[in-house]
């Protein structure tokens, strides 16, 4: 990512009250925290997305949440990026990941979808995966619980006690990526510590 460029930070989730506190909406939770933390109101609506424009530690950013459902996130993100003339390489996407233990974060500069339908939709819309991802670990459920039920379910009480810390740490990771680059972010946040030990 280039320091002088306008960036876009996208959080993935599903719209509507039904999904507000679900694990699949971890990306929305992170973007909401960024908006609060840096005084960027998410009040504008365009291309089936809500967004705000402001600065994060001096970096000019668009912070956005696509309002299409998760598996149709790509077109709102693509249209918003085209409108503001933002390169795919200046995009950071925050999303949940069942393959990471709860409380872990992982930054990746590019790659495949890893089974995540929101990431797949964005890759299809842009024609590639040359964007940075910040993955929030939600862990896997017990074998008797389906993946769908797990990701669309609410956080357990014990998870909720740590959720604020996780989202705050996610904000720190975003700041590091924007200001110092993805490699610095990976060195700092891509470890195996669970949030309780941070």
Beta-bridge mates of residue 52: 63
Mark whether 24 is an active-site residue. yes
Active-site residue identified among 2, 24, 75, 149: 24
The CB-side HSE value for 51 (13 A sphere, CA atoms) comes to: 25
Please answer whether residues 152 and 107 qualify as being in contact, where contact means their C-beta atoms are separated by less than 8 angstroms: no
Beta-bridge mates of residue 63: 9, 52
Please answer whether residues 55 and 39 qualify as being in contact, where contact means their C-beta atoms are separated by less than 8 angstroms: no
Collect all residues with Cβ–Cβ distance below 8 Å to 66 and sequence separation of at least 6.
10, 12, 48, 49, 72, 73, 76, 77
Residues identified as active-site:
24
């Amino acid at each position: 990512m280039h320091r002088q460029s306008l960036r876009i930070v996208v959080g993935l989730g599903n719209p509507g009250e039904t999904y507000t506190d679900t694990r699949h909406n971890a990306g929305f939770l992170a973007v909401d925290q960024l908006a609060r933390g840096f005084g960027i109101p998410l009040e504008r609506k365009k291309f089936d997305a809500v967004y705000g424009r402001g600065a994060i530690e001096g970096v000019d950013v668009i912070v956005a949440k696509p309002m299409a459902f998760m598996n149709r996130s790509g077109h709102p993100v693509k249209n918003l990026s085209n409108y503001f003339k933002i390169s795919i390489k200046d995009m950071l996407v925050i999303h949940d990941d069942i393959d990471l233990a709860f409380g872990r974060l992982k930054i990746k500069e590019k790659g495949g979808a890893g089974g995540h339908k929101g990431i797949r939709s964005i890759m299809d819309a842009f024609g590639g995966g040359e964007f940075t991802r910040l993955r929030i670990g939600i862990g896997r459920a017990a074998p008797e619980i389906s993946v769908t039920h797990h990701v669309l379910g609410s956080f357990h009480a014990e998870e909720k006690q740590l959720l604020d810390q996780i989202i705050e740490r996610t904000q720190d990771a975003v700041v590091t990526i924007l200001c110092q680059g993805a490699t610095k972010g990976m060195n700092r946040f891509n470890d195996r510590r669970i949030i309780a030990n941070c």
